[in-house]
Amino acid sequence: MTLTVTDLAIARGGVPVLEGLSFALPAGKALILRGPNGIGKTTLLRTLAGLQPPLSGRIEGAEDRIAYAAHSDGLKPTLTVTENLTFWASVFGTRDIQPALEAFALNELADRHAGNLSAGQKRRLGLARMLVTGRPIWMLDEPTVSLDKTAVAMFADAVRAHLRQGGSALIATHIDLGLDGEVLDVGPNKARPKALDDFDGGFL
């Protein structure tokens, strides 16, 4: 099933950031989100994930199908790697966390407390969470931050495997992951502050 976004306008803190945004994300494809800092990539992902309502426009095919990974990984430092993953697996109604541990080479760290992991290891654990959600659409916000080259390759492999199984992914990132999919530059969709246009004109 395709995620379809039609003429979407979104706001951050009450200020419109993006408008007139339309795209479709079919199953088996990835969509790489590009754009300068502050353009509203995170806001777009949060809106699609249902954390905030859009100003206008339609989002179809997102309901209960999205697994969202934010900047922070949502890990509990006093729980072990296994306990953290098992918790999210049971919240999403899945059981098997072993494939997720293997995909991100976390087997050796399985009994360590998440608080004792390095930043890169924490991020790997946060990404492994996507695998235990069992949801078809992954939304990832800067997933490769603090990952080394090997881990980035690991992550790209995991996304490719997910796409092969008929899933799709919307990824805000600035590096090239070599995935099968298009790049969506949201730069041209920057919302124009309407009142300010005239304001500028007054000086010119």
Partner 1 sequence: MIALLLRDLKLSFRAGGGFGLGLAFFLIVTVLVPFSVGPQSSLLATIAPGVLWLGALLACLLSLDRLLALDWEDGSLDLLATAPLPLESVVTIKALAHWITTGLPLVLAAPVLGVLLNLPGPGFGWLVVSLLIGTPALSVIGTFGAALTVGLKRGGLLLSLLVLPLYVPTLIFGAEVARRGATGMEVQTPLLMLAGITAAAVALLPFASAAVLRINLR
Q: Which stretch binds partner 1 (CB under 8 A): 67-75, 165-173, 180-188, 196-204?
A: 67-75
37 touching partner 1, by CB under 8 A: no
Q: Which of 8, 41, 54, 73 binds partner 1 (CB under 8 A)?
A: 73
3 pairs with which residues across the strands?
Answer: 25
Q: Is 146 left (phi over 0), alpha (psi -120 to 50) or beta?
A: left
Q: Which stretch binds partner 1 (CB under 8 A): 70-78, 96-104, 177-185, 190-198?
A: 70-78
105 touching partner 1, by CB under 8 A: no
> CA 97, 103, 104, 106: dihedral to nearest 10 degrees?
50
59 touching partner 1, by CB under 8 A: no
95 touching partner 1, by CB under 8 A: no
CA angle 63/162/138 to nearest 5° reads: 35
70 touching partner 1, by CB under 8 A: yes
182 pairs with which residues across the strands?
Answer: 31
64 touching partner 1, by CB under 8 A: yes
68 touching partner 1, by CB under 8 A: yes
193 touching partner 1, by CB under 8 A: no
90 touching partner 1, by CB under 8 A: yes
Q: Is residue 127 within 8 Å of 153, Cβ to Cβ?
A: no
Q: Cβ closer to partner 1: 66 or 158?
A: 66
Q: Is residue 169 within 8 Å of 162, Cβ to Cβ?
A: yes
Q: Cβ closer to partner 1: 23 or 87?
A: 87
Q: Which of 36, 38, 50, 187 binds partner 1 (CB under 8 A)?
A: 50
66 touching partner 1, by CB under 8 A: yes
| Count of Cβ atoms closer than 10 Å to residue 160 Cβ | 16
88 touching partner 1, by CB under 8 A: yes
How far apart, in Å, do the first and last CA atoms of the chain sit?
A: 50
For 143, counting Cβ atoms within 10 Å of its Cβ (0-12 exposed, 13-18 middle, 19+ buried), the class is: buried
Residue ranges that bind partner 1, judged by CB under 8 A = 46, 49-53, 64, 66-79, 83, 86-88, 90-93, 129
